[in-house]
Amino acid sequence: MIVRQLMCRGLTSHLCAAVRLNWSAPKMARPSSNLTEFCEDFAKAKHVAIITGAGVSAESGVPTFRGQGGYWRKWQAQDLATPEAFSRDPSLVWEFYHYRREVMRSKMPNPAHLAIAKCESRLSKQGRSVVIITQNIDELHHRAGSKHVYEIHGSLFKTRCMSCGEVKANHKSPICPALEGKGEPDPSAKDARIPVQHLPRCDGSGCNGLLRPHVVWFGETLDSDILTAVEQELEKCDLCLVVGTSSVVYPAAMFAPQVAGRGVPVAEFNMECTPATMRFKYHFEGPCGVTLPPALERHESEAI
C-alpha cells in the first residue's frame, strides 16, 4: 500500500512519485456543504475515521510554528525539529520543547475536540466506532476524553531515551530543574547553554541516558506499527472526516484521498479550501469549533 511507502516526512523523489500516482484519480464534482445530507451519511456509518491537523489545535490558541510569523526566537520549527539540530545543540532544542510543553498547560480542548470525544463515546454505545488519527502532538484529544487516538507524529508529553530507547509519558513541569524558567521565545533571549548532563535524563535502572522529545522530527521515519494500524482503520472506515488540516504534510495528506478513491464519503472541515478539497464529497468552511459540533450531534435515527 502507498501508506507504507510514505513513512518519511522528508520525502525523496520516488516517494513523491508514489504520491502523484495516488492523486491521479479523477476529481469529483464540487463538494457539497449540505449538512442534512452529511448527517444522513453519518447516521449510516459504522466505522468513522477522523483525521485532525494543526487547525484544530490553533483554535485552542496553540502556536503552530508553521508559515509566516511562526518563529520561536529566530528559528522556525523545521530549524530545530531535526535529529541534526538535537545532536548539535540539545540544550537549545530542549529549550524549544520545554517552552511548548509549558504553553500547553494553559491551553484547553476547544468545542471541536469535545465534539469528537462526545461523538466517540456515544457511538461506542451503539456498537459503532470512531478513531482519531492526528498529526498534532499536544494531547488535546486525550484531554477532551477521546480514547481511540493515533498520534502519528508523537507527543510533547512523551520522552525517548537516546541510550536504552524507552518511551515514557512525562508531564513534569519543569521537565528537569535546569530548564525551569527557560525557553523564553523573545528573539533577544539568550540561549541557556545547559550542560548536557543537566538536561532531561532517563530514570531507568542504571541508564541515565539523555532523553529527547518523543516526536517525529523532519527527516525521520514514522512509527511503522502506528502506520500499519492507521492503514487498517482507513481500509475499514465507511466515513472519513478531515478536520483542520492543510492536506500538504505527508503522509497524512494522502490518507483521505486514498479513502475517497474507494468511494467512501469524505467530509472536510477547514477554514479554507485545500489541495485535496475537490476530491471530497463534502466541504464545510469555517472554524472547526463552529462547523464540527452540529455535524457530530446525535441524528434522529440513532438508537441512543
Q: Is the pLDDT of residue 127 over 60?
A: yes
End of a domain among 163, 185, 215?
Answer: 215
What pLDDT score does 23 carry?
Answer: 41
Mean pLDDT of 184-207: 95
Please report whether residue 15 resides in a domain. no
Same domain, 239 and 292: yes
> Of 25-34, 54-63, 183-192, 282-291, which gets the smallest average pLDDT?
25-34
Mean per-residue pLDDT over the chain, rounded: 89
Q: Is the pLDDT of residue 18 over 90?
A: no
Same domain, 123 and 266: yes
Same domain, 181 and 120: no
What DSSP element (H or E) covers 268? strand 266-270
- Check the annotation: does 282 bind a ligand: no
Same domain, 204 and 261: no
What pLDDT score does 300 carry?
Answer: 80
Please report whether residue 56 resides in a domain. yes
- Check the annotation: does 208 bind a ligand: no
Amino acid at 136: N
- Check the annotation: does 271 bind a ligand: yes
Please report whether residue 97 resides in a domain. yes
Q: What is the CATH number of the domain that holds 73?
A: 3.30.1600.10
Same domain, 200 and 258: no
Measure Cα distances from 86 to 95, 149, 198 in Å: 11, 28, 15
What pLDDT score does 67 carry?
Answer: 54
Measure Cα distances from 5 to 15, 136, 150 in Å: 7, 21, 19
End of a domain among 178, 196, 215?
Answer: 215
Please report whether residue 209 resides in a domain. yes
What pLDDT score does 68 carry?
Answer: 55
Same domain, 195 and 117: no
Where would I find the H helices in the chain? 2-5, 13-22, 35-44, 54-58, 77-80, 83-88, 90-104, 111-124, 140-144, 224-236, 255-260, 288-295
Compute the CA torsion angle 105, 106, 111, 116 (nearest 10 deg). Answer: 0
Please report whether residue 268 resides in a domain. yes
Q: Is the pLDDT of residue 293 over 50?
A: yes
Please report whether residue 18 resides in a domain. no
Sorting pLDDT into bands at 50, 70 and 90, what band is 15? very low
Same domain, 31 and 80: no
What pLDDT score does 28 carry?
Answer: 55
Same domain, 205 and 246: no
Q: Which residue has the cell 524507552?
A: 166
Sorting pLDDT into bands at 50, 70 and 90, what band is 238? very high
pLDDT tens, position by position, 164-178? 999 999 999 999 999
- Check the annotation: does 224 bind a ligand: no
Q: Is the pLDDT of residue 31 over 90?
A: yes
Q: Kindly report whether the global pTM for this prediction surpasses the value 0.85.
A: yes
End of a domain among 215, 231, 246?
Answer: 215
What pLDDT score does 304 carry?
Answer: 59
- Check the annotation: does 126 bind a ligand: no
Bridge partners for 94 per DSSP: none
Sorting pLDDT into bands at 50, 70 and 90, what band is 14? very low
* % of the chain with per-residue pLDDT over 70: 88
272 near 257, Cβ under 8 Å? no
Distance (Å, whole) CA 248 – CA 225? 23
Same domain, 136 and 233: yes
What is the set of active-site residues? 153
Please report whether residue 10 resides in a domain. no
Sorting pLDDT into bands at 50, 70 and 90, what band is 98? very high
- Check the annotation: does 104 bind a ligand: no
DSSP helix/strand/coil, 108: coil
Q: Which residue has the cell 476530491?
A: 279
What is the CA 68 to chain-centroid distance, rounded? 20
Query: Which domain, by its residues, includes 135?
Result: 27-62+109-152+222-303
> Of 137-146, 195-204, 293-302, which gets the smallest average pLDDT?
293-302
Please report whether residue 21 resides in a domain. no
What pLDDT score does 248 carry?
Answer: 78
Same domain, 118 and 247: yes
Sorting pLDDT into bands at 50, 70 and 90, what band is 211? very high
Same domain, 127 and 43: yes
Residues near 302 by beta carbon (within 8 Å), at least 6 away in sequence? 43, 122, 126
Q: What is the CATH number of the domain that holds 125?
A: 3.40.50.1220
Domain count, the chain: 2
The alpha carbon dihedral of 289, 290, 295, 296 has a sign of positive
Grid cell at residue 138: 499536544
- Check the annotation: does 55 bind a ligand: yes
What pLDDT score does 10 carry?
Answer: 38
- Check the annotation: does 110 bind a ligand: no
Distance (Å, whole) CA 230 – CA 1? 12
Q: Is the pLDDT of residue 9 over 80?
A: no
70 near 63, Cβ under 8 Å? yes
Same domain, 207 and 245: no
